[in-house]
Amino acid sequence: MCLVAIAWKTHPRWSLVVAANRDEWRDRPAAPAGWWADAPGVLAGRDLRAGGTWMGVTRDGRFAAVTNFRDPSDKRGDARSRGELVAEFLKGRDDPRRFLDRLAAIAGAYNGFNLLAGDGDALWYFGSREGEVRAVEPGIHALSNHLLDEPWPKVRRARQAMAADVAGDEGALFAMLGDATPGADAELPDTGVGLAWERRLSPALITGADYGTRASTVVRLSAHGESQFEERTRGPGGEVTGVVAYALPPPG
C-alpha cells in the first residue's frame, strides 16, 4: 500500500474505516481480493510473486496493512517480502501489540516499512525506521511512505476526506482515492527519487503503464465483527477494471 487513511473509533457503528490505495509495478502479478484457499478466514488480495498481501481482514475482525518506507539509498535485494507481515498477522492469533513487539526484534530482515495491525479492540502501529511500537489513538490518521501522519500532500488530503465522512461513504472515499491532483512542488518531500518522481508519486491516484495505483479499497469494521469490504482494481490510466465486494455479518 502507498496510502492508507483510517478513522479509528470515531463513528458509533464502524469502529474502523479504512480507505487505501495499493501502488505497485504493473508487471508484478497479483490476485484481486478474495478468500484464501490456504487460510479460509482471510480476505485479501494476494501478491503472486511472494505470496503475501498489502492489506486484508479476517472473519473475526483482524485487520492489517503495510506500506514501504521510501528511501532508495537503503534498499536490499535480499530482504524478505514485507507482504508476509500482513499475511502472518491475519493468519495468526497474537494480539496486535505482541505481534509488533516480536516483529520489532527482526525488522532489519525487511526493507523499510510501516505496519498497521488491529483486532477490533486495539489498533497498533510500527514503523521500522522509527523503531517504536505504539497504539493508534482514536481519531483520523493517514499513512503513506513515511511515518504515520507525516503531512505529505496526499496524506493531508486523505485525512481531510476521511474526517468529512467518518461513516466511510464509498462514493466520497473512492473519490479521494481516485484523485490524481499532484502536490505543489514546494510541498513535496525529498525522499531521494528526484523531483520528477516526487511529482508523479504525490497524488493519491498514480497513473502510468509501468507503475501506479493497482487497487483502491474501502473497508468498514464494527466492534461486533460486522464488516464491509470493497476493492476496485485499476488500469494504467486509473480506470476501474474490476470490482469485488463482500459484506460479513457479526460472527455467530
| Annotated domain spans of the chain | 3-248
DSSP annotation of 80: B
Q: Which CATH number fits domain 3-248: 3.30.420.40, 3.90.1300.10, 3.60.60.10, 3.30.390.30?
A: 3.60.60.10
Write out the three cell numbers for 200: 508523479
For the chain, counts of helices (H) and of strands (E): 5, 13
pTM as predicted: 0.96
How far apart are alpha carbons 1 and 217 in whole angstroms?
A: 10
- The secondary structure of 135-202 as a DSSP string is EPPSEEEEESSSSTT---HHHHHHHHHHHHTTT--HHHHHHHHT--PPPPGGG----SS-HHHHHHHS
25-73: pLDDT as tens digits: 999 999 999 999 999 999 999 999 999 999 999 999 999 999 999 999 8
- pLDDT tens-digit profile of 71-92? 998 888 889 999 999 999 999 9
